[in-house]
Structure 1
Amino acid sequence: MVKMKDKTVDLTPPPEVASTAEKGLELRRKYKRGGTNVGVARARDLKGRKSLSPQTIKRMVNFFDRQEVHKQDENFGNEDDPSPEYVGWLLWGGDPGREWAERKKAELVDSATKPKN
């Protein structure tokens, strides 16, 4: 939980994001590809449903914006022979992680910019 001016924002990843990150860790272990050390650390935090910092939420949004292009790659989404980029995407929470991070970033911005009464 992060206390903003007039609102508390819960930055604990939801179960769907945690399970997607866990799937990324499993695929990385099985196929020995995808993700970086940072991505693995992110997946562990997401899987453990650790409350993240506002800076980490911004990093997640930036990661997904940069990696969106790889959704067109061969084997992106193929669980039997996943591309490294697909594994990396899952480590950061996949589509549920992206949606959640974008929502949380908007909440943080909204809370920070609301005028005091």
Structure 2
Amino acid sequence: MPKPVRFVPTSKMAENAARGLDLRAKHGRGGTHVGVARAEQLIAREPLEPKDIKSMYSYFARHAVDKQGRNWADPARPSAGYIAWLLWGGDEGKMWVDEKRKMLD
């Protein structure tokens, strides 16, 4: 029986997710319960399955436009989209997921 394919998130993705949770708590916005659960997975550096990679890939594809939003990464008042982006691993998460998705195709 073949071993299941799993991917371990990077430490930078875990750092971004933790920062996202901190910003969410501080500002009271950003992300959904799904994003929070994803952040917790990334922080724990739990191995992700192909379905998780596909879900993350879809998230980043849908939300790349959020980077054009007002207050993106503003240190004083970060946008909800920025906070959510961090919950999913941030820019490093997007690059990592893009690579892993290619491996799955």
Q: 2:24 & 2:84 partners in 1: Cα distance?
A: 8
Show CA shifts across 1:1-39 (max 9, x none).
x947xxxx5500010111011100010011110000000
Task: Give the aligned partner of residue 106 of structure 1.
Answer: 102
One of 37, 61, 64 as aligned partner of 1:65 = 61
Deviation, structure 1 residue 108: 2.0
Q: 2:103 & 2:47 partners in 1: Cα distance?
A: 15
Unaligned runs of 5+ residues in structure 1 are: 110-117
Task: Give the aligned partner of residue 12 of structure 2.
Answer: 16
Task: Give the aligned partner of residue 56 of structure 1.
Answer: 52
Is residue 39 from structure 1 mapped to residue 35 from structure 2 by the alignment? yes
User: Moved runs in structure 1, 4+ residues, more than 2 A?
Assistant: none
Identical aligned residues as a percent: 45
Q: 1:80 & 1:96 partners in 2: Cα distance?
A: 22
Task: Give the aligned partner of residue 88 of structure 1.
Answer: 84
Q: 1:41 & 1:10 partners in 2: Cα distance?
A: 18
Unaligned runs of 5+ residues in structure 2 are: none
Deviation, structure 1 residue 53: 1.1
Q: 2:14 & 2:103 partners in 1: Cα distance?
A: 20
